[in-house]
Every structure is written in C-alpha cells, then in structure tokens.
Amino acid sequence: DARVTQTPRHKVTEMGQEVTMRCQPILGHNTVFWYRQTMMQGLELLAYFRNRAPLDDSGMPKDRFSAEMPDATLATLKIQPSEPRDSAVYFCASGLVLLAGYEQYFGPGTRLTVT
C-alpha cells in the first residue's frame, strides 16, 4: 500500500547544527509539499515542487532553509543553522495533479526539537 515516508521521525539537535529531513513521495506523484506545524501557527506551507521543479518556496526562511528534489524519489529539507524556533513537526506530502486540484497524501512527519 503506497505511502509517503519521512526520515527521521524524531530529531533532537542543538542550536546551530545542520538538520536534514528526507521524504520519499509516492511513486508516480508529481507534486511534493513541505509543511511545518506548530501549536501557534498551525500548518504552514514551506515549499512545493512539481515535476521536481520548485514552484513556490515563499513560505520558507531563505537564509537558513533549503528544499531540493535531487530525483523523483527523494525530497530534502535542510535547516542550517538550526534555531530553537525551528522546533516543530515537518510534514511532507505528495500528490498527483488533476484538473481541479489534487489529493495530498501526507507522510508521518518529522518531529524536530532544537535545544
């Protein structure tokens, strides 16, 4: 049964360290999203890709965050250097673009704690 996978599931790191989160979208899906969820802000869109090209990353702090899709089976989100305010759950979702929108399938999330 196809699903989006994310690694790691949990990450605790110290302020200033680099964090890399990985996502494997569902095979055949052409759109990948990165979201961040905190208690205060709810779900925020950080970036999304279609056919591996970044379409929108306006939600992402550019000075420290970067998102890439080196190939169709892997999306990465990096934070360098990490800060305590980056502590959140980061979700990856993938979807297949249809005419009127697309179902998004969410991964289990990466819970990041920056101390």
Residue 49-88 contact track with other proteins, rule CB under 8 A, x = bound: -------x--------------------------------
* Binder of other proteins out of 15, 38, 103, 113 (CB under 8 A): 103
Stretch that binds other proteins, among 11-19, 22-30, 75-83, 94-102 (CB under 8 A): 94-102
Using the contact rule CB under 8 A, the part of the chain among 18-26, 63-71, 72-80, 100-108 near other proteins is 100-108
Q: At closest approach, how far in Å is the CB of 15 from other proteins? A: 24
Q: Does 104 bind other proteins (CB under 8 A)?
A: yes
CA torsion sign for 61, 38, 19, 81 is: positive
Contact (Cβ atoms closer than 8 angstroms) between residue 74 and residue 85: no
101 binds other proteins (CB under 8 A): yes
Q: Which residue is associated with the tokens 């591996």? A: 52
H or E stretch at 70: strand 65-71
Spatial separation of the C-alpha atoms in residues 44 and 46, rounded to whole Å: 6
Tell how strand 74-79 and strand 19-24 pair up: antiparallel
For the chain, what's the residue count?
A: 115
Binding site for other proteins (CB under 8 A): 33, 42-43, 45, 56, 89, 91, 93, 97, 100-106, 108-109, 111
